Amino acid sequence: AQTVTQSQPEMSVQEAETVTLSCTYDTSESDYYLFWYKQPPSRQMILVIRQEAYKQQNATENRFSVNFQKAAKSFSLKISDSQLGDAAMYFCARGGATNKLIFGTGTLLAVQP
Amino acid sequence: NAGVTQTPKFQVLKTGQSMTLQCAQDMNHEYMSWYRQDPGMGLRLIHYSVGAGITDQGEVPNGYNVSRSTTEDFPLRLLSAAPSQTSVYFCASSPRGDPRDTQYFGPGTRLTVL
């Protein structure tokens, strides 16, 4: 089975500090895409960042960046200068040749003031 | 644009009842899909559609039917609800079935089957 694993069910970070959320995946495809989605208490799924597997450069979006290690099948999310609004469930997901997404089980991030 | 809309937001059913979860998008997206979210399991794909008249099964299709008669709408039918179908259901859409496309999710429907 092609899976996505998030080994940290919960994480906590102090406001203004940096936190890294881990994700590993398994795939037999050579071309695929990786995503981090944020789900706040409102339940809305919000795309945070996307990485294309054939690109070696790590994606960045403002305070959010990834560390993509293709050989290790690792895709971690770094949140810098954490804000109270970053508190949410974060899901790692993998997409392949079609747009079908396989999600991890999520990491609940708490931000302490 | 309203984006992706889902109705109802909440629903309680009794075992054996049938119902349809509605999903609509006004972005002229070809690709639409349904996911369910269960505690500790992330989101899992139920069914998807790459265009009007075309549907296919995802990871957990049993107990659900879909059809796609228009580009805008992608309803999910539960023919005989079971307690195992208690979940939060999300509809999503994207311009094409291309993984480079951003998928836009609806606000979800919380379904409880007693």
What integer is the mean pLDDT of B98-105? 86
Size of interface A-B (CB pairs under 8 A): 59
> Min CA distance, B46 vs chain A (Å)?
10
Collect all residues with Cβ–Cβ distance below 8 Å to A72 and sequence separation of at least 6.
A24
What is the Cα A29 distance to its own chain's centre? 19
The SS3 of residue B50 is strand
Strand-pair partners of B65: B77
pLDDT value of residue B101: 85
C-beta atoms of B42 and A105 within 8 A:
yes
Chain A contact present for B109, CB below 8 A: no
pLDDT value of residue A1: 60
Phi-psi region at B16: left, alpha or beta (left = phi > 0; alpha = psi -120 to 50): left
C-beta atoms of B100 and A52 within 8 A:
yes
Give the residue from chain B lying closest to A34, CA to CA: B99
Write the pLDDT tens digit of every residue in B43-92.
999 999 999 999 999 999 999 999 999 999 999 999 999 999 999 999 99
- For residue A30, pLDDT over 90 is answered with no
Give the residue from chain B lying closest to A32, CA to CA: B99
CA-angle at B38, arms to B35 and B43, nearest 5° = 35
